[in-house]
Amino acid sequence: MKKYSVFSLAREALRYHSGWERAWASPDPKAEYDTIIVGAGGHGLATAYYLAKEHGITNVAVLEKGWLGGGNTGRNTTIIRSNYLQPESAAIYEKARGLYEGLSQELNFNIMFSPRGVMMLCQTQHELRAMQRTAHANRLAGIETEMVSPERVKEIVPIIEIDGPRFPVLGGLWQPRGGTARHDAVAWGYARGASARGVDIIQQCAVTGIDRDASGVTGVQTTRGPIRCKKLCIVVAGSSGVLADMAGFRLPVESVALQALVSEPVKPCMDCVVMANTVHGYMSQSDKGEMVIGGGADGFNNYTQRGSFQHLEETVRALIETFPMISRLKMLRHWGGIVDMTGDRSPIIGQTPVPGIFINCGWGTGGFKAIPGSGWATAEMLAKGTPGTLAAPFSLDRFTEGRMIDESVAAAVAH
């Protein structure tokens, strides 16, 4: 893999950019791999990268039914933060946020990490109390957050209306090193790093069946033929239930569409991320100037990767109270992704009832921020055959043992 640098850029500029090699290889599938990862989203690709880098395991294939990063990883609103309430969540999200800080350098690929700060608004007394509790929990977990006054919120976010008629701003939970990153670049950077270390990334290869015998998994059926493997890791977000069904077990997840939209580009007006749980919306400004707006999840299970007018109307109507200026903006485009929601709104990372099959899913509306930490922890689990300390609390059996990790109020909006 050639290193990207100012020198390689200058060299290529002088020869009309004719010497760039492909960022990752596109090999045909082999008959057998030690490990197969299903799903080339951020979590699957990061898992493959850390398997190769941290554990030297490279006889690995990542199978993707479409194009890499084409699922939720390329559809989210790119918010990165680690201000979660429960210690187990704080640990894995903060591990991820910490890795994001140096990820461009580590991958030699500009993922445009922008620690511009994340403000979570408190617009009811209840929310104020809940956020104060989270701030205390964050301090105990060593995560840098602070409660700020309405006046300070206005200083940080001048376009906000803090004296709104229904939901005045009563305060905010501010995480100064939260922010955003370019979502596609995260997938591309991990893909390039994994491919350079010998991992096969195979796109346009849908898994259609899972083969098993009495001792456990033996391989997969795909649209490009059968492939044998010793270990299988399912990392397919909204399609997790479908893959679990192929393997013969059930998951406590629901798949629903989550939607987002962007406005036409405008001059810089907001240099941090703002989340307004009570009015049900969140917003940041992209480098191109678009206001990136996230809304709610559908109230019914479905597999449509589309937006709908009903949600747009709800989200925009609510946000206008807090950000009156957006009433003048035109919408540029909107879309949806299929997210996999668990009952306690925490992910599942662990072994499944089928020996040799592992799963990473249930990130719901908030898994982009977790990609580096999740990939790191899932790679450790695959390499050792058992989850390490970061992943262990998120095992599937917590649902039968009643060990919930309740983060239902930690989402940007109340899903």
Ligand X SMILES: Cc1cc2nc3c(=O)[nH]c(=O)nc-3n(C[C@H](O)[C@H](O)[C@H](O)COP(=O)(O)OP(=O)(O)OC[C@H]3O[C@@H](n4cnc5c(N)ncnc54)[C@H](O)[C@@H]3O)c2cc1C
Q: Provide the pairing of β-strand 118-122 with 171-175.
A: antiparallel
127 and 177 Cβ atoms separated by less than 8 Å: no
Binding to ligand X by residue 109, rule CB under 6 A? no
Binding to ligand X (CB under 6 A) within 122-161 occurs at: none
Among 35, 76, 83, 123, binds ligand X (CB under 6 A): 76
Q: Between vectors from CA 158 to CA 167 and to CA 263, what angle results, nearest 5°?
A: 80
Binding mask 299-338 for ligand X (x = CB under 6 A): --------------------------------------x-
Binding to ligand X by residue 239, rule CB under 6 A? yes
Among 43, 97, 231, 345, binds ligand X (CB under 6 A): 43
Binding mask 167-206 for ligand X (x = CB under 6 A): ---------------------------------------x
* Nearer residue to ligand X within complex by CB, 72 or 277: 72
| Buried residues in 292-317 as b, exposed as e (16+ CB within 10 A) | bbbbbbbeeeeeebebeeebbebbbe
Binding to ligand X by residue 373, rule CB under 6 A? no
Contacts of 48 (CB under 8 A, 6+ apart): 37, 60, 62, 190, 194, 199, 201, 375, 379
Binding to ligand X (CB under 6 A) within 203-232 occurs at: 206-207
Here the tokens at position 261 are 């939209």
Q: Provide the pairing of β-strand 207-213 with 216-222.
A: antiparallel
* Nearer residue to ligand X within complex by CB, 323 or 363: 363
Identify which of 49, 378, 10, 342 has the alpha carbon closest to the alpha carbon of residue 188: 49
Stretch that binds ligand X, among 139-147, 233-241, 263-271, 312-320 (CB under 6 A): 233-241
Find tokens 């990790």 and name the residue: 405
Binding to ligand X (CB under 6 A) within 341-370 occurs at: 363, 365-369
Binding to ligand X by residue 44, rule CB under 6 A? yes
- For residue 6, the minimal CB distance to ligand X (Å) is 31
Q: How far apart are CA 85 and CA 138, in angstroms?
A: 7
Binding to ligand X by residue 40, rule CB under 6 A? yes
Q: Give the interface size with ligand X as a residue count (CB under 6 A).
A: 38
**DSSP label at residue 72:** G
Binding to ligand X by residue 396, rule CB under 6 A? no
Q: How far apart are CA 143 and CA 93, in angstroms?
A: 10
Task: Enumerate binding residues for ligand X (CB under 6 A).
Answer: 38-44, 63-66, 70-73, 75-79, 206-207, 235-237, 239, 258-260, 294, 337, 339, 363, 365-369
